[in-house]
Amino acid sequence: MNEQNPVPPQIPPRIPPAATPSCAQQLGDDPAERAAITNVVAAIDSILRHPRRVMFQLRQPDAGKLIAMMLIVSVVCSLIYGVVVGTFSSGPQLWIAPAKIALGLMISALICLPSLYIFTCLSGSQARLVEVCGLLAGLLMLMTILLIGFAPVAWIFSQSTDSLAWMGTLHLIFWFIATIFGLRFLETGFSHSNARSHAGFHTWVVIFLLVAVQMTTALRPIIGTADTFLPKEKQFFVSHWGDCLKASADKSNPETRPNGR
Amino acid sequence: MHAQPEPLKPHPGEIATLLRGETETISAWSECWSSQRLALHIAVIVLGAGLYGAAMGWWRDPHQALYVAIKFPLIILLTTLGNALINGMLAPLLGLNIPFRQSFSAIVMSFTIAAAILGAFSPLIAFMVWNAPDLASKSLFGPAYNFILLTHVLVIALAGFTGNARLFQLLARLGGGKAVAFRVLCAWLAGNLFLGSQLSWILRPFIGSPSLPVEFLRQAAFHGNFFEAVFHSLRQIFNN
């Protein structure tokens, strides 16, 4: 009875637990994520450093306040960045550019919100409409905060170049970088909502990017000047960009700035 | 009661610690904000880059030396300030969760290292310029001009590379990984090069042209930008 079994029992080797990726953890597992976001500074800090805290708070019953706060920050930041954009042409563009940028951003988000919710549902996600709205507001806030970060660089270039095409390209690059980070936030939030597939989300990303760039053409001119607030003729953004680049290449004379600089 | 750690008092000798890349000490500095330390680092930047700038501009004219001594540190400081916000935002977004002040002080420290190296090379550059033929009387495209230009490129590249190598080590320590440190460094480097190039373009001339007057800024300082100029130059090359 006391004999020992020479063959050890077949126990599968224990695999040391790998470092758990943050997206595999449930939102709210970390007590820090459960701390309420009560003010604008906390909202900005959280979206930059602890985005999971924002995602967790968006699932709480009083998420409306946070969403409103994020939208207000987005509007204020886009207005500030708009002023920087307007300094290229100065004059009336100092108020036209901020108005158009803030308006364009909000309209783009509003246009794309229903499709985002539909794609979210089709992907099997359990996210509620409020949460989707919150994630979209988070995208806008992160985007516009990053644009504020780029603002000093944009301002230096707007003061030292005459080329409309160059400034347009520069702002588009900054916008694109900011959007990548914003979309990354949105995708992380999306992945926490039990979505089976990301295909729908990726389709929506393409739609959102197309809407946003078309908005820059629909609300043109944002950087340059015009007689009317909105354009007289409708144009697709590809043909508008083509026209801008052609006009820029044709202008061998660099003295094209409206303020004569 | 816990004993309070002794505050790390900044002193000029700590520049050697920066140059040696003692990351443990440097990361402790970056964690506790000290205005005195920041002032010391800015002083090193002003002095080091200023001396190098003076040596660079001296070939053209003593006035040019003074102007470049002001402009060289100005580029570094304006680049640091201009990109401070976006650099502070990009660090946590790319996986390095450090406060804004820490990212700012890390960048200032890397520029301090670069400026200290530039300052150390400034006597050598001054000696080289002293031995070079007078810029005002010689051809711009002679061998002396090319040699001096190449030396500047090498010295500035060495200073920049060393500053960034030390910054990478610091970021790796702060973030606990080389991959994160590399991502953050690349993002910061891209931003700093982008803005730094344009600021250098605005604040030109540095060496100065014998055919143009000595001046702090060119008449067309705010006309055009560095990248447009590169683009037009490339277009001319390919059209010819």
- pLDDT tens digits for A56-77? 999 988 899 999 999 999 999 9
What gap in Å lies between CA A132 and CA A125, rounded to an integer? 10
Cα nearest neighbour of B224 on chain A: A161
- pLDDT tens digits for A141-172? 999 999 999 999 999 999 988 888 889 999 99
Q: Count Cβ–Cβ pairs < 8 Å, chain A vs chain B.
A: 62
Test B223 with A48 for CB contact under 8 angstroms: no
How distant is the Cα of B18 from the closest Cα of chain A, in angstroms? 28
Task: For tokens 């967790």, name the residue.
Answer: A56
Domain spans, chain A: 33-250
pLDDT at B177 over 90: no
Test A150 with B86 for CB contact under 8 angstroms: yes
| Long-range contacts, stretch A76-80, CB < 8 angstroms, 24+ apart | A77/A141, A77/A144, A77/A145, A77/A147, A77/A148, A78/A102, A78/A105, A78/A144, A78/A147, A80/A148, A80/A151
Asked if B18 contacts B166 with a C-beta cutoff of 8 angstroms, the reply is yes
pLDDT at B178 over 80: yes
- pLDDT tens digits for B43-56? 999 999 999 999 99
Q: Which residues of B touch A22 (CB under 8 A)?
A: none
Interface of A with B (CB under 8 A): 48-49, 145-146, 148-153, 156-157, 159-163, 166, 181, 184, 254, 261
What integer pLDDT is reported at residue A58 of this predicted model? 92
Q: Which residues of A touch B199 (CB under 8 A)?
A: 156
| B199 inside 8 A of chain A by CB | yes
Q: What is the pTM of this model?
A: 0.80
Mean pLDDT estimate for chain A: 85
Q: Which residues of A touch B225 (CB under 8 A)?
A: 157, 160-161, 163, 166
The ipTM (two decimal places) reads 0.74
| B215 inside 8 A of chain A by CB | no
pLDDT at A183 over 90: yes
pLDDT at B113 over 90: yes
How distant is the Cα of B11 from the closest Cα of chain A, in angstroms? 32
Collapsed DSSP state (helix, strand, coil) of residue A183: helix
- Tell me what the mean pLDDT of segment B139-163 comes to: 84
